Every structure is written in C-alpha cells, then in structure tokens.
Amino acid sequence: MARVCAVAIAVLLGPVLCRNLPEDPFTKELYVAVGSAVEVPSVTPRDGSLLQTLFLRPGYPPSRPQVKCWSPSYPKHALCSWGEGPEPLLPTRYTATYETGLRWGHLLQPCLPVPGLRHHCQLNIRMYHQDAHSINVTATNPLGSAYTFFSFMVEDVVKPDPPVDVTVVQDSKAKTLSVTWAPPPSWSSPAFFPLKYMVRYHTGNSKTARKLGPFLSPAMALKGLRGGETYTVQVSAQDRLVGQSSDWSPPVSATVLPRGHAGQR
Ligand SMILES: *[C@@H]1O[C@H](CO)[C@@H](O)[C@H](O)[C@H]1NC(C)=O
C-alpha cells in the first residue's frame, strides 16, 4: 500500500494529508503551493514509523541587487546599499568588491560591511579622480547568483546626511522665528569642505512649503510671520561645490506668539 500525501496549500507547516492507494508502494505524490514552506514527514510503508522529515522551502534564484551609492562623509568614504529579492527570501549571501580606475579587475578591494546597517558597505574614495569608481555586488543563494555592476563619479554622489540639532525659537522681535542647526556629524570636515543650507517652512499643509537659502552659516531668521500660527521647519545641507542636497531634517515646529507677547516664551 502506497501513501499519497497532499500538503495543505499556502499553510506554513501545514498538515500533511495522506491517503492509501492500492498501487506502486514506491510512488508518492506531493502538492506544494509556491510561497509556502512545509515539513513533510516520510514514513515507512509497513508500520508508519517516521524515517525523516523533509523541510521544503520554495524560492527563486536571487534577482540582480538594486545598488545605489552616495558619500555622506566626503572626501573619505562612500556608502553603497542594495535591496533584496524576490520574495519568498531564501538565505542569501552578498559580496561586494570595488575598484577605482578604468581597468576593472586590476586591483579589486572588498567593500566593507557597515556595523548595524544591513545591505550596506563602505568604500574609500579618491577626490577629483578622473575615472569612475565601480562596484560589483553579487547575491548568492542556494538556487543561484546574480550581480550588479555599478559605476559612479565621486563628485556626483556627494550627499551629506541632514543637519542636526535644529531649533526654532521666538525671536525678541515680533513675528520672527530664529532657526539654528548644526552640520551633520558624519560630514568629515566642515572647515575644509564647507556646506550650504536650505530652509523650508510651512503652516498646515506641507505642500504649501516655501524654501529659503542658500545660507552659508548655520542660522537664519524667518520674518514677517503671522501671530498665533504654528510653523514647521526643516533644513537640508549640500557641499558648496559638488553633489546633491541632503534629505530634509526631521520637522521641528514652533508657534509665533500673538502680538503683545513678543520676547516671552
Ligand atoms: C562580479 O562578481 C561576481 C562574483 O565574484 C563575478 O562572478 C562576476 O563576474 C563579477 N562581475 C564583473 C563585471 O566583474
């Protein structure tokens, strides 16, 4: 007597349905839904005792990692990150190597893991190098491997982290808010690679936000505001010569005191 087992579909560790068939004792049929993981017990035909359990994990070979690179600590390092996929995820190992210059494969170096950040690596960059930096990120899982080869010019990917310690306080003058901030701590040397800043602010709906700047020092005043209104302020940073603007800092709000209360907190 053979047993035919149909595995309950789409149920993680679902029950195994078995049926006796008066046929070939060595034939077994299994039905497994893509996307489910199942444990399949295998039993001896004679007394039904357990021989072993097979753990089935359906999945796919890895897709090509979607790689992006940017440099929040110019001119020291660049970071690269990548997504993973496709679902359902199988255990996947990533290796990343990089090189500076034209002849790929000449002097490959490992792109080093970043503590605490999954799917990121860090590489050393060379300022104003006339050739691209290139990185190869390879994803390998039990079903195969795939790689993405990505090249970039350092000065194009300079992108600071957002400014920090943004404060917004009522100025001693009426209808004015003083905004101050500090450069992103990850930026390696604000003295040699000075930043410029943009400030955006809005009341109510962020779609009505107005942008001011660039400011070369970490302070500015929002003037001509309406008393009693709450303003939300964000700041972004950019190298003065190259690269892209940072993301906006987390929003900070302050309410302009109504007329007659100026100077009080
Ligand atoms: C990227 O790395 C993988 C694994 O080391 C390798 O098989 C592949 O050929 C490399 N791609 C390029 C363009 O060098």
* Domain termination site, one of 125, 156, 187: 156
Q: Is beta strand 195-202 parallel, antiparallel or unpaired with respect to 210-215? A: antiparallel
> Which of 82, 138, 151 best tests ligand 1's pocket when mutated (most atoms within 8 Å of CB)?
138
Q: Looking at ligand 1, which residue's alpha carbon is closest to its atom 3? A: 138
* Domain termination site, one of 123, 156, 189: 156
The answer to whether residues 121 and 188 belong to one domain is no
pLDDT the model gives residue 212? 97
Structural domain includes residue 217 = yes
> Which of 92, 97, 136, 149 best tests ligand 1's pocket when mutated (most atoms within 8 Å of CB)?
136
CA distances from 261 to 14, 44, 75, 173, 255 (A): 68, 87, 47, 10, 12
How far is Cα 175 from Cα 145, in angstroms, rounded to an integer? 61
The label of the residue with tokens 């034939």 reads: 27
CATH code where residue 98 lies: 2.60.40.10
* Domain extent at residue 219: 164-255
> Which of 147, 148, 150, 151 best tests ligand 1's pocket when mutated (most atoms within 8 Å of CB)?
147
Structural domain includes residue 61 = no
The answer to whether residues 103 and 175 belong to one domain is no
pLDDT the model gives residue 264? 43
Distance 146 CA to ligand 1 centre (A): 9
The answer to whether residues 91 and 9 belong to one domain is no
Structural domain includes residue 30 = yes
Q: What is the pLDDT of residues 138-158, one digit of tens each?
A: 999 999 999 999 999 999 999
Distance 38 CA to ligand 1 centre (A): 34
The answer to whether residues 44 and 108 belong to one domain is no
What is the number of structural domains in the chain?
Answer: 3
Structure tokens at 262: 């100026």
Structural domain includes residue 263 = no
The answer to whether residues 50 and 125 belong to one domain is no
Structural domain includes residue 261 = no
Ligand 1 atom showing the smallest separation from residue 105 Cα: 14
The answer to whether residues 190 and 244 belong to one domain is yes
Beta bridge partner(s), residue 180: 167, 219
Residues with C-beta less than 6 Å from any ligand 1 atom? 136, 138, 147, 149
Structural domain includes residue 115 = yes
The answer to whether residues 194 and 142 belong to one domain is no
Structural domain includes residue 62 = no
Q: Could you give the strand order of the β-sheet that contains 117-124, starting from the edge strand earlier in sequence?
A: 67-73, 77-82, 117-124, 112-114
Q: Looking at ligand 1, which residue's alpha carbon is closest to its atom 10? A: 136
Helix segments in the chain, DSSP class H: none
Structural domain includes residue 262 = no
The answer to whether residues 244 and 183 belong to one domain is yes
Ligand 1 atom showing the smallest separation from residue 149 Cα: 13
- Average pLDDT by consecutive 10-residue portion of the chain (265 residues)? 36 42 60 71 75 82 95 94 88 94 79 95 87 94 94 94 97 89 94 96 91 96 93 97 97 86 46
pLDDT the model gives residue 24? 59
The answer to whether residues 9 and 27 belong to one domain is yes
Distance 26 CA to ligand 1 centre (A): 44
